[in-house]
Amino acid sequence: MNQKTTDKQIMTGNEAIARGAYEAGLVFASAYPGTPSTEILENLAKYKSELYCEWAPNEKVALEAAIGASIAGVRSLAAMKHVGVNVAADPLFTFAYTGVTGGCVLVSADDPGMHSSQNEQDNRNYATAARVLMLEPSDSSEAKEFTKLAFQLSEEFDTPVMLRVTTRVCHSKSLVELSGREEREPIAYERNIAKYVATPANGKKLRRNLVDRLKAMEEYSNRAEINKAEYNGSEVGVISAGVAYQYAKEVFGEDASYLKLGMTYPMPMELVKEFAGKVKTLYVIEEMDPYMENHLKAAGIACIGKELIPEYDELNPDIVRSAIFGTEREVFKSDAQAVVRPPTLCAGCPHRGFFYALKNKKNVMVTGDIGCYTLGSAPPLSTIDTCFCMGGSISAGHGAAVAFRQTGRDMKTVAVIGDSTFFHSGITSLMDVVYNKGNCVTVILDNRTTGMTGHQENPGTGQTLMGEPAVEADIPLLCKAIGIKDENIYLINPLDLRETHKALNQALAKDEPTVIIAAWPCAIKKFSEGDKARFDLSPKKCIIDQEKCVKCKACVRTGCPAILSGERILIQQESCTGCSVCKQACPFEAISFVDGSVGR
Amino acid sequence: MSNVKNILLVGVGGQGTILASKVLSEGLMEAGFDVKMSEIHGMSQRGGNVSTQVRFGDKVFSPIIGKGEADLIVAFEKMEALRWIEYLKPEGRMVINDAEIPSAPIQMGLAAYPEGIIEELSEKAVTYVFKATGLAETLGNPKSMNMVLLGALIKAINLPDIDWEEVIRRNVKPSFVDINLEAFRTGKAQVSGS
């Protein structure tokens, strides 16, 4: 496992951003995990002897902490996925007014094509809306260099800088040349109320200053080395940025001139005009929104963009080629069709037991949240009615419950949220339920980790990003403090169907706020000592007695990927964890533990 | 315009496609090629299909390819070979692990696993088909299936001048080095000539 140490390494964009921040002398970084941004902080943690990094409970907290560190005089960074910037937008817009002390970089990792996201918003629009300088690297080498430049520009122009990347930059590997770390003295702290206290009086001045700063930034953009023209004749010109530039190079090769933009806010409009004047046909090739195209068109520059290039989903060279030239490649077609392979809850996933129990409750609307448990919406469980954003399940459940009550309908709501998501922004929603006398049943699926993004620590796991022991947030106590009554808090094992049914039935019968805390560790996480002490995690396997099996498929309807339904119904021993949800679901007692042990 | 080669590794979450691509990319980089590799994480880890793309040559721009552009597809599962066939060049080749992993709709009995995949793909393209999972099991570690397929891949793209075994040594835990090297050699032996 030893990494060969050379000056040149093959790195993902995320590793390269972490390396760039390290080389730039970064002192403080904070983030909330979210695909495709997660590995930036995980990689920064490798340099923990020389810098500090942490998981924040949410993206707003992460950015605010980075702002504090910047004002305290060091270089700081906050990283998040595109939708995380929505959460962090509040501090971002005002931070753009105040500016920085130590350089501060916000990494926005967008997900064109929604590989692992609920939408594909184009966060370049945030740079325009908040008026923050924006850089867009197109591969890992640029990811590292642009990160370093971002810190420098942040200090030079007194502004937070947005480093905008996309999935194919974050998760693609390419060659990177490493340099050493720049050791920097912290900038001495001085109170500066006029700059950092955004009261209306100060804010008005800061807002006017921003106009001048923007002018200076645009002037820089026009001479920035990372905005460069490559001339190959005057017939065709291409303006592009980010990974779309790489696609354009594949498609046009040496048959077009390029204006490759590394800094896309403020746009280098003088440079753009000069380039446009030198080519006959001008294409703007960009993923998602017509961001650059709109800047060109607003300046009266004729160009071809979204009338040909798709405005949604991610691009690739083939899509760009057929969009521009109308060519279709010859491809293999097959008569047989591959069956879809959707992601599923894993074998032994504690969420399965809970959803299997919830599935049959009548007159219930289930509001869901962002995490592995969103897969509870997929067949055969199909037990989640809504999913919008982190933390939204409880507040949506409350609103719906009130709406049903106000209009005299016999419906209850169950809000389903994970532990990390509850800490992210579910707590404030639960306060809403209590404060406003709602009766939504809140279910916290506490799997002792941040599951979907690959098992990051969170305030409930007892460990930090840098591997140090931490205080565990006490969820039941927190609920009590908010005002949930003792008798309305149910602590259950979600793999125990009887216990889960009992808690759900009791909670649904009450006309006041209730919380069910369904605690069991994620089946595929590395169990902590705390997990082993608290839960019975001894390895078990289940097996079907073929003599007793009548093929009613009750076990198949749990949706467990270890169960195979064919002529016979079988449990694949290599993937079974012995969670026993199928055993409890079987009405004919045909399923037992392989070792003959008794119990649930 | 270029001498860039495109390799697609496709399979199911948990099959070890990422480690195989990592070894491949590192070896190619050390041999002096420009290399780009792209993988998809996230929800696909939960039993969904996974894909990794590796591109190498004198100068590589895009980290990903589109349909009809792969020189070689290595399918860690045979239905995944079928899913990605459109990405193969007309003269492209496929290495296919003759193994079935049913997806959720098949497990639930809602769809049937497609029949005749190997026959149909072999009729259309140059294929190297063998039971990589079975071979890895025989060697004593079913998880080394990814190294069996990597061996076949290396033979199929004909890049013998790179010290692949050294790259494998660096990328696996010391206690698993021997079994992985054995798996790698077994895979190489499955592809004759080139």
A332 domain-assigned: no
Do residue A214 and residue A232 come from a single domain?
Answer: no
B52: tokens are 């990794």
Residue A567 lies in a domain: yes
Assess if residue A397 is contained within a domain.
yes
Per residue in A540-557, pLDDT tens? 999 999 999 999 999 999
Best to test chain B binding among A334, A344, A370 (most B CBs inside 10 Å): A334
| Residue A419, SS3 per DSSP | helix
Number of domains composing chain A = 4
Quote ipTM for the complex: 0.94
- Which single residue is written with the structure tokens 């974050």? A170
- Domain range for residue A235? 227-325
Cα–Cα distance list, B58 to A12, A14, A204, B29, B66 (Å): 20, 24, 54, 11, 20
Confidence of residue B161 (pLDDT cuts 50, 70, 90): confident
CATH number of the domain residue A448 falls in: 3.40.50.970
DSSP readout, A293-351?
HHHHHHTT---B-TTTS-SSS---HHHHHHHHH---------SS-PPP----PPTT-HH
**Are both A417 and A500 inside the same structural domain?**
yes
Q: For the segment A187-200, what is each residue's pLDDT rounded down to a tens digit?
A: 999 999 999 999 99
Residues A14 and A149 in one domain: yes
Task: Say whether both A387 and A263 belong to one domain.
Answer: no
Residue B28 in contact with residue B57, Cβ under 8 Å? no
Residues A263 and A141 placed together within one structural domain of the fold:
no
Last residue of a domain, one of A223, A254, A286: A223
Q: How far is A371 from chain B (nearest CA, A)?
A: 9
Instruction: Choose one of A260, A290, A325: the last residue of a domain.
Output: A325
Q: How many CB atoms lie within 10 A of CB A4?
A: 10
Residue A480 forms part of a structural domain = yes
Q: Cite the DSSP H helix spans in chain B.
A: 17-30, 78-84, 104-107, 117-124, 132-139, 145-157, 164-171, 177-188
Judge if A434 and A523 occupy the same domain.
Answer: yes
Are A119 and A188 part of one and the same domain?
Answer: yes
Q: Cβ of A139 under 8 Å from any chain B Cβ?
A: yes
Pairing of strands A227-230, B49-57: unpaired
| Final residue belonging to a domain, choices A207, A223, A239 | A223
Q: Are A494 and A353 in contact (CB under 8 A)?
A: yes
Categorize the per-residue pLDDT at A4 as very low, low, confident or very high, splitting at 50, 70 and 90: very low
- Domain B5-101+115-188 CATH assignment equals 3.30.420.10: no
> Do residues A528 and A448 both lie within one domain?
yes
Nearest chain A residue (CA) to B142: A574
In-domain check, residue A340: no
The partner residue sitting opposite B48, judged by closest CB among A330, A341, A553, is: A341
pLDDT of residue B44: 52
Q: Is the pTM above the cut of 0.80?
A: yes
User: Between chains, do A172 and B68 touch, taking CB under 8 Å as contact?
Assistant: no
- Shared domain for A136 and A259, answered yes or no, is no
Q: Does A530 touch chain B (CB under 8 A)?
A: no
Show Cβ contacts of residue B109 under 8 Å, excluding neighbours closer than 6 positions. Answer: A553, A556, A565, A566
Q: What percent of chain A is predicted at pLDDT more than 70?
A: 99
Report how far residue A272's alpha carbon sits from residue A228's, in angstroms, rounded to the nearest whole number: 10
CATH number for position A576 = 3.30.70.20
In a domain, A521, yes or no: yes
pLDDT 10s digits, B42-89: 565 677 888 999 999 999 999 999 999 999 999 999 999 999 999 999
Q: Kindly state whether residues A560 and A463 are assigned to the same domain.
A: no
B59 at A interface, C-beta within 8 A? no
Beta strand segments in A158-313, E:
161-166, 172-177, 227-230, 236-241, 257-261, 263-265, 281-285
Residues A188 and A242 in one domain: no
Task: Assess whether A58 and A176 both reside in one domain.
Answer: yes
pLDDT in tens, A349-389: 999 999 999 999 999 999 999 999 999 999 999 999 999 99
Domain-located, residue A511: yes
Domain contains A335: no
